[in-house]
Structure 1
Amino acid sequence: MAEAVREGRDPAVARFPAEPAGRRDVRILAALVGVSALVYAVSSLLRLRDFRASTYDLVIFDQAVRSYSRFGSPVAMVKGVHNGFGPDFSVLGDHFSPILVLLAPLYRIHDGPRTLLIAQAALFAVAIVPIWRYAARRLGRPSAYLLAGVYALSWPIAEAVAFDFHEVAFVPLLSALLVERYDAGRRGQAALAAFALLLVKEDMGLLLAGFGLFLLTRAGERRAGLAYLACGTVAILAVSRVLITLFGGDSDYYWAYGSLGESMPDAVLYVLTHPWAVPDTLSSPPAKLLTMALLFLPLALLPLRSPLVLATVPPLAERMMADDRFGNWWEPRYHYSAFLVAILVMAAADGAYRLRGTRLPRIPRLRLPRRHLPATAALAATVAALPFFAFADLADPDLYRRDARDRAAATAVARVPDGVLVETSNNLGPALSARARVLLWDREPRHAPWVVADTGRRTFPFLSVEEQRRRVGALIDAGYRTVFDAAGYVVLTRETPGRG
């Protein structure tokens, strides 16, 4: 116990080993990581093959990382043109994610969106290791494996895998390392993980501030808690107000709290003088409550037993306090909940440990020690939620075969020559991004020599299929000629026959 105190670990959880007990644990963890990475990668790659990926956001990241791989700034032409920043726009002016440069060497092996999807799968899967180590110290190895499975099958990871690639790929691993290394008494290593988190996105300071709030609940850790709280707050202000502007962005572009005030000081003042606005905003519309419930129910509410859950409060409030214009932040879909999932699973481990001494029911015919029941319940709830989220698609036969529209889409993109500038419908950009300069086909004429349009199904950012058909008609009236038209996909060009 004295050794645990000297190293900064919680002596109450020092009786389980901090390291895998032997080669058997290493082999099991390696298998779990490998299988998880394979499932995530296959799911992503099948979606890419079947044209279920999107220009917004996969092509944005593909163009940015490709620019890094060529020793340039992370320019995403598709983002800059569509959002009015210009074709030379650096994504560091959109979201501050310099950590993406770590993926650039992979583009020397394979240049294209597939590289990002496989890297994301690996990063998500490797987070299993620090989650297991943290849980093993509290609950022993069997429960740690159960909770590793909870993370691997969790709906936030499923939804992130289903929605292209995002910078969130780094967050489960880094946030898990932050918590696990600090818990192990390795403060320097935890600080490195915290610093790396600040390179993932401009709002990751909220996660550090939340971790500081957690440390404030622990005796002897309040100075460290204040340091994390201060560093996280300063980082948010410095990155969002200064660095993003330096890279050509608008510091107010993602201001999502107009109902509370026109700026952060205004919003803080409003909340302090109108405290009832917080629960009102958090509960309206009801979709916010649904998402928050879904974050905790599959974990059997165990995170609510742990003060570690405080680390998730600031980033969760950032999402749930947003106005209607950013309604996608509230949804269970997309990738936003993956920012929190690793810490929530670790909080579940801590919450389960804090149930020690509580008389848990014995389940008939289940030969399992009572101390493993909380983790078992969390895994059972996570598995029960699988049919309602993206991993359920892996059981859909349509994911493994192409229909007539998929085949038409493949033919359409094949008609576009290499190296040209092309406007594409949202779902076709990823198929061309590795070999052409892709712009999003939207409401504004971009005068690209090639256009691949979709008139069979509504596609972002259009409001209706009829609007898309009118855009195609306007292109033809402007002198474009049709070189392919099938199953709703239309390829048009302004180039003269024989060129390209």
Structure 2
Amino acid sequence: MTGDTLAAESGAPAAISTPRWLAFGGHRLRLGVMCVLAATAYAVIGLVKLATFRATTFDLVIVDQAVRNYAHFRPPHIPVVGAFHGRGLDYLQIVDHFSPIYALLAPFYWVHDGPGSLIVAQALLFAAAIPFIWLFTRRVLGTAPAYLVSVAYALSWPVAQAIAFDAHEVMFVPLLTAVMIERYHAGKALPAFAAMFALVLVKEDMGLMVLGFGLYLFVTGDRFSGLCCAGIGVGAVMLTRGALIPMLGGDTGDFWAYGHLGPDAPSAILAMLRDPLSTLLLPFSDEAKVDTLFLLAWPTLLLCLLSPLSLVALPHVLERMLSDRALWWQADFQYSAFTVVILFLAGVDGLSRLLRWAGRPGDRRLGLAWAAAVCAVAVTLVPRFALDQLYHPSFYQADQVKTAAARAAAARVPSGVQVEAVNSLGPALTSRTTVLLWTAESHGSPWVVADTSRWEFPFGSAEDQAAQVGRLLSEGYSKVFEQDGYVVLRRT
């Protein structure tokens, strides 16, 4: 079954055909303005946090080190993670997470060599999904709903949480999934499958999303393509996790978050088959899981559940909800941004199917009403999540004394050295030093920057940091700077 047939089956108005990008006229201008405004808002949040020492070594410095190495045509070593796990300073990013797609960001570092480039690139990539969401929605529901759904995506809480927490590989996924689904729906298989293949270069588990796309194709009638995509998805996960990562020095145990089900995948599958009822209840076994699942579906007024497009997101959502890692269940981090576009487009398709089942295919008024409600839901969720910071003056007015002390501490560290820095100070040093994370285990770096005034990952209390500073002073380090809790040590 072709994408054009699927469009007709979903109830798309016959009068609307997929327009050429260069023939949009006024739509192109409006979409361009929308993308620029969204990207600006996203970048402002990240850049303000970077400038006020609220960005973090884990994960901004991790990505920065990888992309900087790509920009200089070197292997993507991430010494900050290698040292943290005791695996050496030549530890590769693609064995921490299989994300060779980061190499595409290297040109940004040729313009500006620093983590700010990552923040801007991430903002642009998230905003770049908007035109494809608009195209899909316009084809199915009409022009006005297309704008409303695009605004709802731009304001969506998964995107807000992702852009508020440094930079991550998820930045590529909304655009790639939007291209994959929209282009296939438009009958343009080549760009759709190109985007699908690019997904497996984003992260080691993105083969699960390709598997989900295969399931969608299969149940909607494109069975041969569906089986091929499902096979590609499963094969990609097995290849990256089972072969490439161990071969390059990684540990597959890092990705196993299902110890409550078994020590490995076969035993976990058997455990789930032996007790299917418990398996079905596991995604709802914690209040945080239920909250996140509801928040994923609610922005579409739950209509995403009526569309087979939701199958694209299902494997990734189950990967999160079946795990034993509580952070994966939360709505507070970047994980929900992997599936946000899929669910919005599933909502559009779900409404179209509902209208067809009700004998009112192509009802423009109901489509517009639903899109307006979806946009209103997105607006009502803004105060609960990170975009809320944009209109609060306190977000831009950081503690001036603390910020000045952090800036002075960073200035005392010379360029070109290796430094163990507190989590909040690493991003300020990474463009000119080799940053390792300041922990209770010394790595013998010639320079150390601590913050003994507050809780910091991974130490915990400020007292623990102060105790480690005392140990280093007794082992041959000298104190060269101290102000408002910040302490700079040099090994003598």
In 2, Cα distance between equivalents of 1:494 and 1:5: 66
From 419, 433, 436, the equivalent of 2:433 is 436
In 2, Cα distance between equivalents of 1:265 and 1:162: 37
Kindly provide the CA deviation profile for residues 411-438 of structure 1, in whole angstroms up to 9, marking residues without a partner as x: 1111111111111010110000001110
Task: Name the structure 1 match of 2:107.
Answer: 105
> What is the letter of the counterpart of residue 454 of structure 1?
D
Residue 285 (str. 1) matches residue 286 (str. 2)? yes
Residue 72 (str. 1) matches residue 95 (str. 2)? no
From 380, 385, 391, the equivalent of 2:381 is 385
Task: Name the structure 1 match of 2:252.
Answer: 251
Task: Name the structure 1 match of 2:50.
Answer: 48
Matches within 5 A, 1:474-493: 474-493=471-490
Greater shift, 397-406 or 140-149, is seen at 397-406
In 1, Cα distance between equivalents of 2:64 and 2:421: 15
Residue 339 (str. 1) matches residue 335 (str. 2)? no
Label 1:357 to 1:265 Cα distance change in 2 as closer, same or farther (>3 A): closer
Q: CA deviation at 1:296?
A: 1.1
Displacement over 6 Å in runs of 4+? none
The secondary structure found in structure 2 opposite 1:491 is strand
Label 1:281 to 1:492 Cα distance change in 2 as closer, same or farther (>3 A): same
In 1, Cα distance between equivalents of 2:17 and 2:487: 61
Matches within 5 A, 1:11-90: 11=8, 12-13=11-12, 15=14, 16-19=16-19, 22-90=24-92
Kindly provide the CA deviation profile for residues 3-47 of structure 1, in whole angstroms up to 9, marking residues without a partner as x: x96955432426222126631000011001111111111111001
Unaligned runs of 5+ in 1: 361-367, 496-500
Q: CA deviation at 1:107?
A: 1.2
In 2, Cα distance between equivalents of 1:283 and 1:428: 38
> What is the letter of the counterpart of residue 309 of structure 1?
S
> What is the letter of the counterpart of residue 355 of structure 1?
L
In 2, Cα distance between equivalents of 1:359 and 1:258: 46
Q: CA deviation at 1:481?
A: 1.8
CA RMSD between the two structures = 1.7
Label 1:40 to 1:260 Cα distance change in 2 as closer, same or farther (>3 A): same
Unaligned runs of 5+ in 2: none
Task: Name the structure 2 match of 1:448.
Answer: 445
Task: Name the structure 2 match of 1:398.
Answer: 394
Task: Name the structure 2 match of 1:498.
Answer: none
In 1, Cα distance between equivalents of 2:206 and 2:13: 30
Residue 421 (str. 1) matches residue 418 (str. 2)? yes
What TM-score comes out, normalization by structure 1 length?
A: 0.93
In 2, Cα distance between equivalents of 1:247 and 1:346: 37
Task: Name the structure 1 match of 2:301.
Answer: 300
In 1, Cα distance between equivalents of 2:371 and 2:473: 61
> What is the letter of the counterpart of residue 113 of structure 1?
P
Task: Name the structure 2 match of 1:364.
Answer: none
Partners of 2:13 and 2:142 within 8 A in 1:
no
Q: CA deviation at 1:475?
A: 1.4
In 2, Cα distance between equivalents of 1:322 and 1:42: 33
The secondary structure found in structure 1 opposite 2:255 is coil
Label 1:14 to 1:205 Cα distance change in 2 as closer, same or farther (>3 A): farther
Task: Name the structure 2 match of 1:207.
Answer: 209
Residue 237 (str. 1) matches residue 234 (str. 2)? no
The secondary structure found in structure 2 opposite 1:355 is helix
> What is the letter of the counterpart of residue 226 of structure 1?
L
The secondary structure found in structure 2 opposite 1:443 is coil
Partners of 1:299 and 1:382 within 8 A in 2:
no
Task: Name the structure 2 match of 1:459.
Answer: 456
In 2, Cα distance between equivalents of 1:9 and 1:306: 12
Kindly provide the CA deviation profile for residues 291-311 of structure 1, in whole angstroms up to 9, marking residues without a partner as x: 111111122112112111111
The secondary structure found in structure 2 opposite 1:493 is strand
The secondary structure found in structure 2 opposite 1:354 is helix
Label 1:395 to 1:329 Cα distance change in 2 as closer, same or farther (>3 A): same
- Tell me the matched-pair count: 482
In 2, Cα distance between equivalents of 1:355 and 1:443: 57
Partners of 1:352 and 1:375 within 8 A in 2:
no
What TM-score comes out, normalization by structure 2 length?
A: 0.95
In 1, Cα distance between equivalents of 2:24 and 2:398: 45
> What is the letter of the counterpart of residue 147 of structure 2?
Y
From 201, 216, 219, the equivalent of 1:217 is 219
Task: Name the structure 1 match of 2:179.
Answer: 177
> What is the letter of the counterpart of residue 349 of structure 1?
V
Task: Name the structure 2 match of 1:375.
Answer: 371
Partners of 1:50 and 1:399 within 8 A in 2:
no
In 2, Cα distance between equivalents of 1:257 and 1:112: 37
In 1, Cα distance between equivalents of 2:192 and 2:369: 30
In 2, Cα distance between equivalents of 1:479 and 1:246: 39
Q: CA deviation at 1:479?
A: 2.2
Q: CA deviation at 1:396?
A: 2.3
In 1, Cα distance between equivalents of 2:263 and 2:254: 12
